[in-house]
Amino acid sequence: MHGSERLSKKTQDASLMAERREKLLETGFQMFAEHSIEAVKLQDIANKCGIGIATLYRYFGTKPDLVIEIATRLWHKYYSLEEQMFQACNGNDMTAAEELEYFLDCFIDLYKNHKDILRFNRNFDTYVKHEGCTEEQMRPYNEAVSIFANKFHLLFLKAQKDKTLDVSMSEKKFFINLLYIMLSVTGKYAEGLIYPYNYEQDMTEELYMLKHMILNTYVKPMP
């Protein structure tokens, strides 16, 4: 085999491996989001992808490895999409109050259009705790979600300057009150853990009510 042929085969092999890895990640995400992480075995994912379990292990040595990479990739992709929309809306020129409303709308958009992400995310937190995943294992994921924490940090600093939000509480409390509450509520709604009295499954209206309650709490009235 000539050098050019060896190079071509090596390129084809790398391309095949990248495609297969992508398929494993996407299939794993879909199955975990639909059935829960605990209920899906690696063999189930291998079968769905039409490969042997030994081949899957060439890409992911353990189930937590696969789960954490899916979660990391998920939030990187969503952040890239959100950042594009933020820049398209001239987000840097928004007041802190306007930016807060924008971020609250992002949570509602997650519920309306990406329930699978929310279902996976809630199950993910429970799974990694149960598995006792180490700090080193979680590092890529923690780095991915820290980007969102930094966005809220910049929002907090902006609010301190333009005074359009009440940030008399600590930044940590501000972060928990907003990010954790919205993520928790949207996640529970997406999983169907909370239903209103009439058992309607679309909770968008309730999320808009929560959004307005938060804005009424934190947005300072114009002088």
Asked whether 182 and 210 are in contact (CB, 8 A), the reply is yes
| Higher pLDDT among residues 202 and 54, named by residue | 54
- Distant-in-sequence, close-in-space partners of 27: CB < 8 Å, separation ≥ 6: 45, 48, 49
Q: Inform me whether the pLDDT recorded for 29 exceeds 90.
A: yes
Residue scoring higher pLDDT (191 or 131) = 131
pLDDT digits (tens, 9 = 90+) for 76-133: 999 999 999 999 999 999 999 999 999 999 999 999 999 999 999 989 989 999 999 9
Summary mean pLDDT of the chain:
89
pTM above 0.95, yes or no: no
Q: What is the pLDDT of residue 86?
A: 92
What pLDDT does residue 12 have?
Answer: 63
CA distance 31 to 45: 8
Q: Write the DSSP assignment of 87-135 as a string of letters.
A: HHTTGGGS-HHHHHHHHHHHHHHHHHH-HHHHHHHHHHHHHHHHHT--H
Q: Which domains does the chain have, with CATH numbers?
A: 1-61 (1.10.10.60), 63-218 (1.10.357)
Residue 201 has pLDDT above 90, yes or no: no
